[in-house]
Amino acid sequence: MIDFETELKKFHPSLEVKDAEEAIGQHDLADMIDLIVKTVKEGETTEPVEPVVMTVPEE
């Protein structure tokens, strides 16, 4: 059986939106555009790769 008194003692309220924005904003997070730009720049510095052509054997 659930002991509600014990569970209430464990309860911590979630952050308000403003507090959450501040907590998240303190981290330097990369978004998808940053990751794509980084990937493209890394690809420009490497030698071009020849495409692989695969053929299906005839039956």
Domain boundaries, the chain: 12-42
Amino acid identity of residue 12, one-letter, is: H
| Alpha helical stretches, state H, 1-59 | 4-10, 17-25, 32-44
State the Cα–Cα distance between residues 42 and 39, nearest whole angstrom.
5
What is the share, in percent, of the chain residues with pLDDT greater than 70? 78
Element containing residue 35 per DSSP (H, E): helix 32-44
CB atoms within 10 A of CB 12: 5
pLDDT digits (tens, 9 = 90+) for 35-54: 888 888 887 766 666 777 87
Model pTM above 0.75: no
